[in-house]
Amino acid sequence: MKDLAIGVSDFQEIINANAYYVDKTLFIEELLHKNKTKAVLLPRPRRFGKTLNMSMLSYFFDIDHAEEYRELFSGLAIEQSEEWKHQGKYPVIFLTFKDLKMGTFELAVSKLKKELGRDVVRKYGYLFTSDQLDEFDKEYLLNFRKGAVDIFDLEDYLREISKMLAKHHGIPPILLIDEYDAPIHAAFEYGYLPEMVGFMRNFLSAGFKDKDLITKGVITGILRVAKEDIFSGLNNLATYSILDYEFADKFGLTQPEVNQLLDDAGYGTDRQNVADWYNGYTFGQVEKIYNPWSILNFVSRHEEGLKPYWVNTSSNKLIQETLPKIDAPTQELLFDLLQGTSVRARLSDFTIFEDLYSGDSKVVLGLLIFSGYLTTDGTALDPGRLEYKLRVPNEEIRIMYETMLARYLKASEKVTDNELLMALLQQKPKTFADALKRYLLHSFSFFDIGTKGFLPEKIYHAFMLGLMAHLSQEFHVKSNRESGLGRADLIIYPKDPNNSKGWVLEFKKKTLDDPESLEELAQSALEQIHEQQYVAELNGHGKTDIMCMGIAFDGKQAACAF
């Protein structure tokens, strides 16, 4: 099998290295033949191949190196397409903002100024001697080369370079902007969002507002930032998100592509496990889309087994800051999702960052969908209201939610989740019960539990599931698992077949009308474990040293019976 170029997003580098490449060149055909829009915005989750696809477009269209780059596409699908006639016919402007994530607006502007100055020298140096450009054009270029430009010159860059390329080549350029929202995410995180939004609005408008300035334009990012914030005036821009049918199979890996990759690597027997861990996305009406980052890392590091890869490539800070702000109904909805349930909900197909601060349900769910932390079941239930069935895509994302939940509920220094887990794993129920009570008292402020009896049982269930997230590498952690005569709330057992231990936990939540004490309710949960024979699954796996525990919750209080 060819080498896997993990982390390489330059098309030429992959092809010249004879590395493994999943052919996505028909993206070009769909862009030119099937889509007549002047400019398109294509939001996709991170690590789904956006930069590689944009790099591929850049090499395909480039008029300055047409002969050299033609060989890169030898044997690829686009050679057989009618759109092959466009190869090497256009000047190209290709900018990626994926690394423009600075702590201040001034630093971001300074870095962009340097990068554009280098582009002027490396990519467009021939324009300095062009007979088609006047002295004002060349002075503008010279100022960029010297770094003697202000923010207004930066905002005009796309328009001015497009005009110069059109003058020199006699045809308007292809304009490619990759990860346009990366600096906006950084601005949100570091507190200079208004300045960055204002700059990006002017910068993109200068390049895309005049329909005659470009031959075709493509913008990628993760989110569709609200039109009034960024894309005001860009009437020639069409957006195709993961909810739309267009370009649905051009980012990420489809099931046949994954099957071929696994077969080529000799891991075809892992197909189902790989599907459980990394599959699950629906783009438009194309089901079973995988994120390439996890698949490539799994194949490359096969001896390490199935584990999270994609979720560990980012701080997820935007998600982490947003989830604590959501209201109680949305909390319950997310906990239902965590339990593997599909839920019906409305989305917003664009992001207004200010609404993330307020925890607006539609905006938060839209953020989770477009960022890759949730997916839909396909066709909208109510297209006009953007109402879909939502679900957690796969095991990798589910573990991320559990870990994040545990982080939200991190206890004070008086008790840690490690103390809880150690007591559980050592089967010390009294120590566990004491640690759990202190944990709840000091760390359960994430939820609104000012009124006793308010929270539903499933929120406590999700809380306990989150605490167990750290065990997933060495233990099976099963939630609402069919066992015996019913469904146990939580079953845990070691992956090591020689370890005979196991745990069954059943939860109850005291209501305002419940006559039983908290201790009696915990005992009732314990009795349910025995009556419903929940230990049956553990016995089936050869586990005989089993701790059974009933846990009852009420506000920040808990009681345990074992």
Tell me the pLDDT tens digit for each residue of 231-261. Answer: 776 777 899 999 999 999 999 999 999 999 9
pLDDT at 380: 87
Q: What does the alpha-carbon distance between residue 126 and residue 166 come to, in Å, rounded to a whole number?
A: 14
pLDDT at 447: 45
Give the pair of three-digit tokens for residue 277. Answer: 């861990």
Residue with tokens 């506000």: 555
| % the chain with pLDDT above 90 | 61
For residues 401 and 527, the model is more confident at: 527
Q: How confident is the model at residue 488 (pLDDT cuts 50, 70, 90)?
A: confident
Q: Is the pLDDT of residue 111 over 80?
A: yes
Helices marked H in 314-383 — which ranges?
317-322, 328-338, 353-358, 361-371
- What does the pLDDT average to over 416-441? 85
pLDDT at 453: 42
pTM of the entire predicted model: 0.78
Which of 45-49, 54-58, 555-559 reaches the highest mean pLDDT? 54-58
| % the chain with pLDDT above 70 | 89
Tell me the pLDDT tens digit for each residue of 497-512. Answer: 999 999 999 999 888 7
Tell me the pLDDT tens digit for each residue of 146-155. Answer: 999 999 999 9
- What does the pLDDT average to over 386-415? 73
pLDDT at 481: 60
What share of residues in the chain are helix, strand, coil (percent, to 5)? Answer: 50, 15, 35
pLDDT at 414: 44
Q: Is the pLDDT of residue 103 over 60?
A: yes
pLDDT at 359: 67
Q: What does the alpha-carbon distance between residue 432 and residue 437 come to, in Å, rounded to a whole number?
A: 9
Tell me the pLDDT tens digit for each residue of 286-316. Answer: 999 999 999 999 999 999 999 989 877 766 6
Q: Is the pLDDT of residue 166 over 70?
A: yes
Q: Is the pLDDT of residue 117 over 80?
A: yes
pLDDT at 479: 82
- What does the pLDDT average to over 452-458? 55
What does the mean pLDDT of the chain come to? 87
Q: What does the alpha-carbon distance between residue 527 and residue 562 come to, in Å, rounded to a whole number?
A: 10
Q: How confident is the model at residue 334 (pLDDT cuts 50, 70, 90)?
A: confident
For residues 382 and 51, the model is more confident at: 51
Under 8 Å between Cβ of 101 and 317: no
Q: Is the pLDDT of residue 540 over 60?
A: yes
pLDDT at 406: 60
Q: What does the alpha-carbon distance between residue 84 and residue 39 come to, in Å, rounded to a whole number?
A: 20
pLDDT at 554: 86
- What does the pLDDT average to over 508-520? 87
Of all helices (H) and strands (E), which one includes residue 300?
helix 292-300
Beta carbons within 8 Å of 170's beta carbon, 6+ residues apart? none
- The alpha carbon dihedral of 39, 94, 225, 108 has a sign of negative
Of 299-303, 326-330, 421-425, which range is least confident? 326-330
Beta carbons within 8 Å of 374's beta carbon, 6+ residues apart? 337, 365, 368, 390, 391, 392, 393, 397
DSSP 388-453: EEEE---HHHHHHHHHHHHHHT---TT--HHHHHHHHHTT-HHHHHHHHHHHHHHHGGGS--SSTT
For residues 320 and 434, the model is more confident at: 434
Domains of the chain and any CATH numbers: 24-106+165-239 (3.40.50), 255-313 (no CATH), 317-398 (no CATH), 409-561 (no CATH)
Q: Is the pLDDT of residue 538 over 70?
A: yes
Q: Is the pLDDT of residue 224 over 90?
A: no
Beta carbons within 8 Å of 520's beta carbon, 6+ residues apart? none
Tell me the pLDDT tens digit for each residue of 339-383. Answer: 778 899 998 877 777 666 666 788 888 888 998 999 998 888 888
For residues 411 and 465, the model is more confident at: 465
Tell me the pLDDT tens digit for each residue of 458-481. Answer: 777 877 887 787 787 788 888 876
The neighbouring-strand residues paired with 96 are: 178
Q: What does the alpha-carbon distance between residue 472 and residue 492 come to, in Å, rounded to a whole number?
A: 9
Q: Is the pLDDT of residue 557 over 70?
A: yes
Residue 525 CA from chain centroid, whole number: 38
Residue whose C-alpha is closest to residue 404's, from 280, 328, 316, 341: 316
Give the pair of three-digit tokens for residue 34. Answer: 């099937």
Q: How confident is the model at residue 449 (pLDDT cuts 50, 70, 90)?
A: very low
**Phi then psi dihedrals of residue 290, to 5 deg:** -105, 150
Q: What does the alpha-carbon distance between residue 302 and residue 296 come to, in Å, rounded to a whole number?
A: 10
Q: What does the alpha-carbon distance between residue 363 and residue 264 come to, in Å, rounded to a whole number?
A: 41
- What does the pLDDT average to over 34-55? 91
Residue with tokens 């110069």: 164
pLDDT at 348: 83
Q: Is the pLDDT of residue 486 over 80?
A: no
